[in-house]
């Protein structure tokens, strides 16, 4: 069996392949584009724009326009509705991925095929090879907080589910995880369970049963790990009782999950006692993860962008364990791998794999006279260190010159492929007048104000924002869920700090002349952000794919209603100096 695993997955061989690909990234990019265009030369979309079978980058850029998802929606909808003609791809699309819906307020349909699955596994294998070189693990298990939402059939009979669901349900995923010696310690029935609350409880229980074998704690996003251990704080005594008696809690009602867990669960009073006294001995749950899982080498998941605010709490649970940020991608496909796993999440970079798609980059320049210039895109090897760009993707699943909407900064090169740092989503802006504040600006503001809370030994559990234009002048609204009761005096100070921590020149000048009104801090009840999570899960989103929306638009009425209906206190910032 060991020989078969080594033949299927050899980390050093994977690194060698990556080094070879990145030594001549420009050539690999041209070959990748040629393959994509050859495979799809007879598609309706490429023929419409007059590409006429050409496969060179110059013809491609001259003929094919830059597009957003909205431009491709009619084509994707026809595919979902059952049109099997070559619309976007030469081979039929058999699966549709759904985005989480947290960015735009509703899920997007995205084509998914075998080629995207192959590139997903290539990313996983590449990052694991570099990770295992710096943080080697032996044969063991991974406590993976992963959840597969239900797949459904589109009007045309195609399987549709979240991007993570399509990956987790593919046999190649579990095969690859086994090959990398990191099989999930939870049975499939837990991963694919219909109720994520029950699945989460059982993930925790499985982790405790196999606590000595767990070497990696992971999830798609850092938020899911935080959510899991916040839940553990509430249910740990019940978990101990399950282990002590060898009988699963009555809270688990799904028959398939009960049956699978019953096969795993045996009475173990000694383990139950050990866990019980460890939990009793912890101060404020600091270092919980290494206490429970002593052989864990690291914690792994996407920790950039909207996940950064959770890092402080994750480090609290992790103690001295390293936090390793997972790779860079989206519902539309993967882009780059973390090949420098020792970098902390705040400064992690991602090396683009030049053979998994064709990439272009729109340079982001400063505004001139209030008009945003949009220079011509440059190629993968033409980007400059220190500059910021918006990414354009052409992939094997029918996306051509697709504006992903992500802003990245080039931090350097690995051989001839760029290493990118994720900055923000370009379209997530707080803007009323001439102000433009990004998700990152919001995060910086919240972090500054949260330091005031920390003096009262409280923390911001989660947060989001809203641009209120129902009043004149309009104003920013920031929603906070706080870990305990803070005084009015402290929260007023936090509100003023939030306002003054937005350093965008347009915002500051607008506040001074009152063309933007005082910032409004609305404190919501505990559990409000779990209600938002439940809302998106109810729409079909996977917990594994969930990201708290950092800016809730007026059109996202359901989430806005959840927030507004749970407000317990409201504060306005004072006059702006």
Q: How far apart are CA 384 and CA 363, in angstroms?
A: 9
Give percent of the chain with pLDDT exceeding 70: 89
What Å distances lie between residue 492 and 455, 471, 500, CA to CA?
14, 21, 13
Instruction: Residue 32: count other Cβ atoms within 10 Å of its Cβ.
Output: 23
- H-helix segments, 10-87: 11-23, 25-39, 44-48, 57-63, 69-80
Per-position DSSP letters for 440-470, written without gaps between them: HHHHHHHHHHHHHHHTTT--EEEEEEEEE-S
Query: How many Å from the N-terminal Cα to the C-terminal Cα in the chain?
Result: 70
pTM over 0.95: no
What confidence tens digit (pLDDT) does each residue in 497-554 have? 888 888 888 778 878 878 888 899 999 999 898 888 888 877 766 666 677 888 888 8
Prior bond of 473 cis (ω within 30°): yes
Burial 75-87 (b: 16+ CB within 10 A, else e): bbebbbeeeeebb
In this prediction, residue 149 has a pLDDT band, given cuts at 50, 70 and 90, of: low
499's enclosing H/E stretch is helix 488-500
What is the reported pLDDT for 361? 93
The whole-angstrom separation of Cα 362 and Cα 374 is 7
- Give 381's contacts (C-beta < 8 A, 6+ positions apart): 25, 26, 29, 416, 417, 418
φ/ψ (deg, to 5) at 366: -65, 150
- C-alpha span between 288 and 299 (Å, rounded): 12
Mean of pLDDT values over 321-328: 90
- pLDDT band at residue 166 using 50, 70 and 90 as cut-offs: low
Residue 294, pLDDT score: 93
Per DSSP bridges, beta strands 567-572 and 520-524 are antiparallel
**How far, in whole angstroms, is CA 240 from its chain's centroid?**
31
Closest CA to 310 of 443, 469, 506: 443
pLDDT by residue (tens digit) across 389-435?
Answer: 999 999 988 899 999 888 888 999 999 999 998 877 766 677 877 77
Which of 351-374 are b and which e, b meaning 16 or more Cβ less than 10 Å from the residue's Cβ? bbbbbbbbbbbbbbeeeeeeeeee
Flag whether pLDDT at 5 surpasses 50: no
Give pLDDT, residue 196.
Answer: 83
Q: Is 55 helix (H, G, I), strand (E, B) or coil?
A: coil
Torsion sign (Cα): 337, 342, 344, 348: negative
Spatial CA neighbour of 26 closest among 337, 335, 384, 418? 418
181-191 residue pLDDT tens: 677 888 888 88
Which DSSP state fits 309? G
- Cα–Cα distance for residue pair 20/416, rounded to 1 Å: 10
Q: Distance between CA 476 and CA 103 in Å, rounded?
A: 18
Dihedrals phi, psi of 84, to nearest 5 degrees: -95, 5
Give the mean pLDDT of 353-360.
Answer: 93
- Four-point Cα dihedral 265, 270, 272, 276, nearest 10: -170
What confidence score (pLDDT) does residue 371 get? 40
φ/ψ (deg, to 5) at 148: -105, 115
pLDDT at 441 (0 to 100): 87
pLDDT given at position 454 = 84
Domain boundaries, the chain: 11-110+346-425, 136-321, 429-572
Average pLDDT over residues 276-300: 90
What b/e sequence results for 407-445 when a residue is b if at least 16 CB atoms lie within 10 Å of its CB, and e otherwise? bbbbbebbebbbbbbbbbbbebbbbbeebbbbbbbbbbb
Residue 163 binned pLDDT confidence (cut-offs 50, 70, 90): low
- Average pLDDT over the chain, rounded to an integer: 84
Rg of the chain over Cα atoms, rounded to whole angstroms, equals 24
CA distance 88 to 47: 10
Highest mean pLDDT among 114-128, 174-188, 280-294: 280-294
Please give the Cα distance from 52 to 36 (Å, whole number). Answer: 14
Q: Mention every residue, 6+ apart, whose C-beta is less than 8 A from residue 487.
A: 456
Determine whether 96 is exposed, middle or buried from the number of CB atoms within 10 Å of its CB (0-12, 13-18, 19+).
buried
Question: Which pLDDT score is estimated for 370?
Answer: 40
* CA separation for the pair 208, 296 (Å, rounded): 12
Cβ burial of 53 (10 Å; 0-12, 13-18, 19+) is: exposed
Q: Which pLDDT belongs to residue 457?
A: 84
């Amino acid at each position: 069996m060991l020989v078969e695993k080594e033949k299927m997955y050899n980390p050093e061989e994977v690194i060698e392949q990556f080094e070879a690909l990145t030594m001549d990234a420009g050539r690999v990019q041209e070959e990748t584009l040629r393959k994509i265009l050859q495979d799809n030369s007879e598609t309706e979309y490429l023929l419409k724009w007059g590409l006429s079978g050409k496969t060179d980058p110059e013809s491609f850029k001259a003929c094919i326009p830059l597009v957003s998802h909205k431009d491709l929606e009619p084509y994707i909808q026809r595919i979902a509705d059952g049109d099997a003609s070559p619309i976007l791809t030469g081979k039929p699309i058999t699966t549709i991925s759904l985005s989480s819906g947290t960015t735009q307020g509703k899920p997007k349909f995205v084509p998914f095929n075998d080629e995207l699955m192959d590139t997903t596994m290539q990313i996983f294998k590449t990052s694991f090879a570099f990770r295992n070189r710096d943080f080697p693990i032996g044969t063991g298990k991974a406590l993976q907080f992963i959840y597969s939402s239900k797949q459904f059939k589109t009007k045309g009979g195609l399987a549709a589910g979240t991007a993570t669901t399509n990956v987790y349900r593919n046999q190649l995923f579990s095969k690859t995880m086994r090959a990398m010696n990191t099989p999930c310690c939870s049975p499939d029935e837990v991963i694919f369970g219909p109720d994520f609350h029950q699945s989460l409880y059982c993930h925790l229980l499985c982790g405790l049963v196999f606590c000595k074998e767990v070497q990696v704690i992971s999830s798609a996003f850092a938020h899911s790990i935080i959510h899991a251990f916040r839940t553990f704080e509430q249910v740990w005594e019940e978990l101990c009782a399950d282990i002590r008696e060898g009988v699963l809690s009555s809270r688990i009602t799904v028959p398939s999950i009960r049956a699978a867990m019953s096969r795993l669960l045996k009475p173990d009073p000694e383990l139950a006692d050990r866990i019980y006294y460890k939990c009793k001995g912890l101060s404020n749950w600091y270092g919980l993860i290494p206490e429970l899982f002593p052989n864990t080498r690291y914690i792994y998941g996407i920790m950039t962008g909207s996940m950064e605010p959770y890092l402080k709490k994750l480090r609290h649970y992790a103690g001295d364990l390293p936090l390793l940020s997972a790779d860079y991608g989206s519902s539309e496909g993967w882009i780059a791998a973390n090949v420098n796993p020792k970098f902390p999440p705040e400064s992690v970079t991602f090396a683009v794999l030049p053979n998994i798609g064709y990439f272009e980059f729109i340079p982001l320049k400063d505004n001139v006279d209030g008009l945003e210039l949009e220079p011509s895109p440059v190629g993968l090897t033409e980007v400059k260190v220190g500059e910021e760009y918006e990414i354009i993707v052409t992939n094997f699943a029918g996306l051509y010159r697709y504006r992903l909407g992500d802003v990245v900064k080039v931090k350097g090169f690995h051989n001839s492929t760029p290493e990118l740092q994720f900055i923000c989503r370009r379209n997530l802006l707080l803007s009323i007048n001439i102000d433009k504040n990004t998700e990152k600006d919001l995060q910086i503001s919240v972090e500054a104000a949260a330091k005031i809370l920390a003096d009262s030994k409280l923390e911001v559990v989660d947060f989001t924002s809203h641009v209120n234009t129902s009043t004149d002048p309009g104003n920013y609204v920031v929603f906070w869920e706080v870990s305990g009761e803070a005084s009015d005096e402290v929260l007023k100070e936090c509100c003023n700090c939030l306002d003054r921590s937005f350093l965008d020149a347009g915002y500051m000048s607008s506040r001074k002349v009152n063309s933007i009104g005082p910032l409004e801090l609305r404190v919501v009840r505990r559990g409000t952000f779990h209600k938002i999570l439940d809302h998106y899960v109810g729409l079909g989103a996977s917990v594994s794919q969930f990201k708290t929306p950092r800016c809730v638009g007026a059109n996202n009425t359901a989430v806005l209603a959840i927030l507004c209906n749970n407000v317990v206190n409201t504060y306005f910032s004072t006059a702006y100096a």
